[in-house]
Structure 1
Amino acid sequence: MAFRSKLAIFVLLTSFYVWRSQYTLRNSILTSSPFPDGYFHGGNFSSQCETLNDESENNALKFCEDVTFWDLKDNEANLEERKVLFTCDSGRKQWNTVMGPLHKPEPHGSLWLYSPNENVATEKPSSLFGFGNTASASIKPQRITLENYPEGHDFHPLGVKVWPSYAGNSSNLFIVNHARQRTFIEQFVISPSSPTVATHVRTLSSPYFVSPNALALTSPNSFYVSNDHLITRRWPLIGHFVPIMETILGLPLGWVAHVTLDSDATAPFPIQTHAVTAPFIPFPNGVAISASGAQVAIASTSLSQIMMYSRNTSTNELVFRESVLVPFCPDNIDFDDNDSLIVGGHPHFLTLVKVVKGVVPHAPSWVLSITPRASESNLTEPPLNYDVMAPIPASSRVPATLSSEVVTLLQSNGVGFSSSTTGLRDSTTGALYVPGLYAEEGLLVCRPALA
């Protein structure tokens, strides 16, 4: 009888796991989709997408994780220029506190600046969008110097966010740093007058920063931060397998918190408040806040879903609203100016693991948008067929929702671009920026053609 009871419990737990994780198991573990070399929504991947290069001998612009806009505004908050910041770590195959291994933490990662409007004033307007032209050829990424960075302090950047600059003022810049001892959040200031220099302000550390991954700013001195695991790979003995089980089993041990800092950079206790706003999430990865500030989205990598929350803008409290399934393991997420959520991620997790181990050279990429449906939509039930322009439509992998429309923006088998982590779309130009976790050329830029 005892054996039967144990067997029944085992079958029950297994059935629950398979039901709960069915889309991740089917789409990202058991199925390897026949993607094209490169697909760009509404355009031509080969002529409208390019990867950025590091022209120095260091080859540091590879294995990039996150990308964000740095908006330069006038004193009335009108956008004057939009620059792009992104983080890379050329030593990621030797030091990755999320996927492993933890062999060599010494080489520093890097922070990069890309200014898409650079030199545009002297060119024809169409030069904003094409790639075989003078303007695009002259725009090169620049590595940002980390001034006053503590000597001997590791720098392995993941999530990055920066507050806009107003009327030329400096901006607060925050970067998650997966250092050897523990994970920190580094604060810098960066100025439009010297945009290739970020001055280190302070290192933020807390017992609550167990496994920070991504950030979403709510003010120049406050942010949401995701903690992707409760047990990390730095733990002796159990760190080799427990975090893996936490990921595979989809254990709800991660969380998102809101942090408020003392604006005085010399304050002995810089963290004024820390409040868990979204607990019990399986592998919470990317976190994003809408342009209006009324919505927050969190990516659950283990469950292949995006969790949508309503936000109290006064208290920063979050109320869960709904989940949207995506056809891959989502990584980082960002809202565009029109409140469409852009999601980047990994369509086949096992191939990504093989890339880490050096078995294969690249892994597939998938980026899509989730856009709220218009209030006047006449739909009474979710559509069966959607995202029909994509080579592998999302409708062939996950069901739709009534509340939002899903459209694939980018797909690649890894040949065109490998291991997408983030999608960042500029609503003013339509440009799409995609970093690759293990892409040798770490940032892809795609621009739509002019009509």
Structure 2
Amino acid sequence: MTAGTSRARIVQFVLAALVALFALKAYELRNSIMMMHTSTRTRFPGFYVRTQPHELGAVRCRNVHGAYVPDARAYSVDPATQQAAQTTDSCEDVRISTLLGIAVISCDPGRVKWNAVMGPLDEPHKRGAVWVLDYKNASAEPYLLALEGFPDAHDFHPLGMSLLELSEKLARLFVVNHRAIGSTVEVADLQKVHGVWRARYVRTLYDTLGTHAANSIQALDRNEVLITNMHVAQKRTPALAYVARTLERLYGPHAKRFAHYLDDERHKKRVRTLESVVGGGWVAHVTFVDAAPASAEENLDTWSMGVEAHAVARRIPFANGIAITPGHRYVVTASTALPGVLLFPVQRWTEQGDPDWQDPAVLGQRIVVPTPFFADNVEVIPPKPAQRIRTNDPLAGAKVVAAGHPSLPDLTDMRHNIGSEEHRGASWAVEIEYTGTDTGDDAPFSADARLGGLPRGWRVRTLMQTDGRPYTYLGRRVEMPTSCGVAWDNTGEGLGTLIVTGLYSPAPLVCQGVYQ
């Protein structure tokens, strides 16, 4: 064999390997590609929520509307007074606390003008709010959670949240805030006074690795959290010096020289696309102290004082929602670009029996469960007291609920036609569990039909599905376009309450009587 022939065969082998790798990646991303280019409005039902056995009664659904609360920096306008006011439009995340008996909901009606993830990037000075719903009261409406002590001049664009229960009347709330100058986390202590929950601002957290592209958050303790970061290249980029530090901490000292590429929209878009394919997102473990210098001005350096962070999981395509299973056995994250839910087993423990977050190998090999939509937020539902735990169930009887976007064209169409009842983005919320056997989904548009296969033993089953348009369900008008957050209390005490929020929805959807 001549040297030329040998080289030719090597080149052919390398090309064949590259083609095979490309084909494998294309196969992995086939759902993403389909959802990026096809509409689901003609294929989805007007409205579907999982039905229950007859003896459990009918499922009742309604949209919950918070009353207009005057706020000079709010985006919405109270039709009665024509004054700026907060309301429950465009809600991103929802978290339920069965102990506290409440759901907290993050809403930002100005998302149509300020969206640090998708754009546009106009009017960042307008702000959103967090709302509280006493969901165990079947007729309750949400009320605004006043953030006492939070500087009036500061931006507030709430996204992902987490609640740390301290007692039946005390809790700590963590809220991701997509400010104009960079993403931060707001920390507040909640207390129930005369039957109403109030919040006292504690401090703001910032870190070039921990909050660079923060999206969702999971509390571990009063001063310890996990935060998902979507990617390095953002639609809205912080000052170049901070981006350089992020690159250096993620990829080493030589990476910071490429920071200037992320200050140019043409390069940012290409890098963001690449990160979504190869996995540029990460999960950060963040610790902090309560005592921190207060700042009347928005200042990233001040907010970074007393904050430490490092990455505990990497290579996540568009890391989004995050939750943790009972006993802190698994960290669950949504991968929007994959799309799917990733389960990372905790495999390093301290002598005290806690996860050893300082160990670089604290999280093991991930389990990937695909979703039939671009997964946005997730929540973990603990097992019921008498529930039988299946052998080899990684979740030990818990379930994961996830919501997301089954069609990017429909989502984009709604974003460009806010107010239209025809141009709506579809919604989909599912329950993910380990059954040990292959069972299907009975929704009108089955998750099985879109996924085409799941890891053995796992089931993805629809909780709610709609084309996004208004619909009359059991005599009541309901709507839920562009679903992005979901929470569920499937107990009798919790009234079987399922709550779904929508990125551009006029109001959250609450369904009660969903027990199974």
For Structure 1 versus Structure 2, the TM-score category normalised by the shorter chain is 0.7 to 0.9
Alpha-carbon distance in structure 1 between the residues aligned to 2:515 and 2:153: 49
Deviations 1:408-431 (A, max 9, x none): 000000013101111111132321
| 1:424-435 → structure 2 map (5 Å cutoff) | 424-428=487-491, 429=494, 430-435=496-501
Question: Is the contact made by 2:59 and 2:513 (CA closer than 8 Å) also made in structure 1?
Answer: no
| 1:189-208 → structure 2 map (5 Å cutoff) | 189-193=189-193, 195-208=196-209
Return the offset for 1:162: 1.5
Distance 1:244 1:392, change over 3 A: farther
Return the offset for 1:31: 5.2
Deviations 1:50-84 (A, max 9, x none): 1111332236210000011245xxxxxxx4x4111
Alpha-carbon distance in structure 2 between the residues aligned to 1:88 and 1:372: 32
Return the offset for 1:7: 9.3
Q: Which residue of 2 aligns with 1:226?
A: 228
Among 432, 449, 458, the residue aligned to 1:396:
449
Distance 1:88 1:244, change over 3 A: farther
Task: Provide the secondary structure at the position in 2 that maps to 1:65.
Answer: strand
Q: Which residue of 2 aligns with 1:304?
A: 339
- Radius of gyration: which is bigger? 2
Task: Provide the secondary structure at the position in 1 that maps to 2:366.
Answer: strand
Distance 1:82 1:237, change over 3 A: same
Task: Provide the secondary structure at the position in 2 that maps to 1:421.
Answer: strand
Q: Which residue of 1 aligns with 2:159?
A: 158
| Letter of the 1:397 counterpart | R
- What RMSD, in angstroms, separates the aligned Cα atoms of the two structures? 3.0
Task: Provide the secondary structure at the position in 2 that maps to 1:314.
Answer: coil
User: Does 249-258 or 282-291 show the bigger shift?
Assistant: 249-258
Task: Give the alignment's TM-score, normalised by structure 2.
Answer: 0.74
Alpha-carbon distance in structure 2 between the residues aligned to 1:47 and 1:12: 48
Question: Is the contact made by 2:501 and 2:509 (CA closer than 8 Å) also made in structure 1?
Answer: yes
Alpha-carbon distance in structure 2 between the residues aligned to 1:299 and 1:437: 16
| Letter of the 1:396 counterpart | A
Deviations 1:342-399 (A, max 9, x none): 01000001211122222764200000011122xxx4x4xxx3x611x20111110111
| Letter of the 1:193 counterpart | V
Distance 1:46 1:348, change over 3 A: farther
Deviations 1:11-60 (A, max 9, x none): 66753542231121124533526111110001599961111113322362
Q: Which residue of 2 aligns with 1:60?
A: 87
| Letter of the 2:487 counterpart | L
Distance 1:243 1:255, change over 3 A: farther
Q: Which residue of 2 aligns with 1:413?
A: 467
Question: Is the contact made by 2:339 and 2:373 (CA closer than 8 Å) also made in structure 1?
Answer: yes
Return the offset for 1:85: 0.5
| 1:318-357 → structure 2 map (5 Å cutoff) | 318-338=363-383, 339-357=398-416
Task: Provide the secondary structure at the position in 2 that maps to 1:163.
Answer: strand
Among 61, 67, 82, the residue aligned to 1:49:
61
Question: Is the contact made by 1:307 and 1:320 (CA closer than 8 Å) also made in structure 2?
Answer: no
What is the total number of aligned residue pairs between the two structures? 413
Q: Does 1:368 align with 2:395?
A: no
Distance 1:108 1:272, change over 3 A: closer
- Identical positions, percent: 28
Structure 1 unaligned blocks of 5 or more: 72-78, 119-127, 129-135
Question: Is the contact made by 1:232 and 1:239 (CA closer than 8 Å) also made in structure 2?
Answer: no
Alpha-carbon distance in structure 2 between the residues aligned to 1:100 and 1:9: 38
User: Does 402-411 or 155-164 show the bigger shift?
Assistant: 402-411
Question: Is the contact made by 1:145 and 1:197 (CA closer than 8 Å) also made in structure 2?
Answer: yes
Question: Is the contact made by 1:112 and 1:143 (CA closer than 8 Å) also made in structure 2?
Answer: yes
Question: Is the contact made by 1:187 and 1:200 (CA closer than 8 Å) also made in structure 2?
Answer: yes
Alpha-carbon distance in structure 1 between the residues aligned to 2:500 and 2:168: 29
Task: Give the alignment's TM-score, normalised by structure 1.
Answer: 0.84
Q: Which residue of 1 aligns with 2:44?
A: 35
Structure 2 unaligned blocks of 5 or more: 1-6, 69-77, 79-84, 238-261, 295-301, 349-353, 384-397, 470-478
Return the offset for 1:243: 4.0
Q: Which residue of 2 aligns with 1:438?
A: 504
